[in-house]
A and B are shown apart, each in its own frame.
Chain A
Amino acid sequence: MSAVAQAAEFADQFRDPVLAKGVSQVATATVLAALVVGVSRLRGLDLERELGVALTRGLVQIVAMGSIVGVLLTVDFVWSGAILLLMIGGATWISKNRGEGLPGVVRVSFAAIAFGAGLVIVVMTIAGAIEPTVRNLVPVGSMIIANSMQINSLALDRFRGELRSNRAEIEAGLALGAPPSAVIAEHVRTGVRASLIPIVDSLKSLGWVWIPGIMAGMILSGENPIYAALYQFVIMAMIFGAGGLTSVTSSLLIGTYVFTDAEQLKEIGDATDDGASGA
């Protein structure tokens, strides 16, 4: 598609009549949000300014993102890989905060997310579960990457905690002449298990505690509910598969970075404040 055609398509987004409907919905939602601001003022919570800024900022950010996605969806299919790679880069940047203090955290996070999410996206695209179009690959891929990022963050956070609280035990094992990989195997397992708890719980509660967004959206747009349910399961399974691969890769790789060539356990730093809230 030429640049002129892309620009025209981008501009068309803002002429779509559905936007008027969207603006009226935003107005209604804003009234409800304003009620919360009013309650805050009445009850002396002193949150009016913060709530106001958060609402405005949220609206601007999400509309900006919608516009960017609109542009991204007009590019050629071959750009999908670059867009997803950029997303993996962003996910690495956010995820590294959780693993702050662990040596090699950026390289490990990038490799783990790229491998876990990338492999699942490629396999499921080849299998036909994800249509090979930008419109499908980018949103579904981003969902898989985002979940891999969260799982990677959880795995790194837990693994760092394990190393810090079990340093004496790990060094006692090394002092016996044991291989580092064997000494930390239990801690790697703990990190992987802990990181997968949220997705396992989501799978267990699927359908009876919550109806996830994609399934709800498909039903609302008139899709066969059984097919919507099946596709939702496919999505959850992809997220689980990508997350599991990411977590295992991340934990195994980081396990090699925490030791020196002489098989000494490196100093493991604490999480920064930024890291505690970064992901």
Chain B
Amino acid sequence: MSPEHRKAESRSPSIKLEARELTRVVDGVRIVDSISVRIREFEVFVVVGPSGSGKSSFLRLLNRLDEPTEGTVLLDGVDYREYPPRELRKRVGLVPQDPALVDGSVYENVVRGPGLRGEAVDDRRVETTLRRLGLDGYAERDAADLSGGEAQRVALARTLVNGPEVLLLDEPTSSLDSRAEARVESLLRDLSLTVVLVTHDERQAERLGERAMRLRDGRVERIGTAREVVA
């Protein structure tokens, strides 16, 4: 790690999420290779890199949808394998690139987290979240009739309604028009959440990210301020 990176790391007042030598090997290929990074509480941390560099695989490991082959992740300083998987995933919410909505209304999709856990739904939170994402009046719409961009925003609302402390976003604006993209970016800035954002859009990385990490072939190529990394 360069001195520049160490400097960026050392400024962290409170570390929310920390990957330690995080590695995932599939069929003999190290798709995520010894990634170590500390992510501060309430910061927007951006991950960039070419296709196949391991960005999405890294996010899946942070949510523990996949098991690390080596290394681990600390959440609030505790090894995440010590948390029950459901509690961990509720606290570290992942918004996948494919919204993967289920048959039914937008409302049914947005409350899917608490619904599947048999918990009460906070309808006020649902309403506020939909409004902030520009989805006023969408609650009763059939999810099958949504455009790609609308479905992507519903997927983001679904994770936000679940009440995460850390938000993992995989290309959350790839299907959005510029207006909807601006709205989502504004929301991400205003959220009091720790955000890890995977994006191929380096301008977006600069606009949103405080710090960033560039991956190549599963390895960290560079970590620093967003401006330094995308330069």
With a CB–CB cut-off of 8 A, which chain B residues contact A168?
Answer: 96, 98, 100
- Once the chains bind, are A176 and B90 in contact (CB under 8 Å)? yes
Give which listed residue, A174, A178, A183, contacts B65 with CB less than 8 A.
Answer: A174
Chain B 122-162 interface residues, beta-carbon cutoff 8 Å to A: 155, 158-159, 162
Residues of B within 8 A of A (CB): 63-67, 81, 85-91, 93-94, 96, 98-102, 112-113, 116-118, 155, 158-159, 162
What is the 8 Å Cβ interface bit string for chain A, positions 166-182, against chain B (1 contact, 0 not)? 00110111111111001
Within 244-275 of A, Cβ neighbours of B (below 8 Å) are at 260, 262-264
Residues of A within 8 A of B113 (CB): 176-178
- Which B residues touch A175, using CB under 8 A? 63, 65, 89, 93-94, 96, 159
A260 to B81, CA, bound (A): 13
- Contact residue among B65, B91, B96, B116 (Cβ-Cβ distance under 8 Å from A179): B116
Of B85, B88, B91, B96, which contacts A172 at CB under 8 A? B96
Contact A262 to B117, CB < 8 A, known contacts A172-B155, A175-B94, A176-B162? no
In the complex with contacts A172-B100, A182-B116, A177-B67 CB distance below 8 A: no
Bound complex: CA of A176 vs CA of B164, how far in Å? 9
Give A181's nearest chain B residue, CB to CB: B116
Considering the chains assembled together, what is the distance between the CA atoms of A169 and B96 in angstroms? 10
- Bound together, the chains give a CA A182 to CA B114 distance in angstroms of 11
Asked whether, in the complex, the Cβ of B67 is within 8 Å of the Cβ of A174, the reply is no
Alpha-carbon separation in the docked complex, A262 to B102 (Å): 23
A264: chain B residues within 8 A (beta carbon): 64-67, 85
Q: Which of A180-228 contact B (CB under 8 A)?
A: 182-183, 186
- CB <8 Å contact, A176 and B89: yes
Q: How far is the CA of A182 from the CA of B86 in the complex (A)?
A: 12
> Do the beta carbons of B89 and A171 come within 8 Å of each other?
no
Nearest A residue to B85 via CB reads: A263
A125 and B66 alpha carbons, distance in the complex (Å): 49
Complex Cα–Cα for A201 and B203 (A): 60
Task: List the B side residues contacting A172 at CB < 8 Å.
Answer: 96, 98-100, 155, 158
Interface CB pairs A-B, < 8 A, 5: A175-B63, A175-B159, A176-B112, A260-B67, A264-B67
Q: A175-B89, A177-B162 are in contact. List 13 more A-B contacts (CB 8 A).
A: A172-B158, A173-B112, A175-B63, A175-B96, A176-B93, A176-B116, A177-B86, A178-B116, A179-B117, A183-B116, A262-B64, A262-B85, A264-B66
Chain A residues whose C-beta falls within 8 Å of the C-beta of B159 in the assembled complex: 175-176
Q: A172-B155, A182-B116 are in contact. Are A177 and B96 (CB under 8 A)?
A: no
The answer, among B90, B98, B102, B118, for a CB contact under 8 Å with A177, is B90
Q: How far is the CB of A3 from chain B (nearest CB, A)?
A: 56
Q: For residue B63, which residues in chain A have a CB less than 8 angstroms away from its CB? A: 175
Smallest Cβ-Cβ distance to A171: which chain B residue: B65
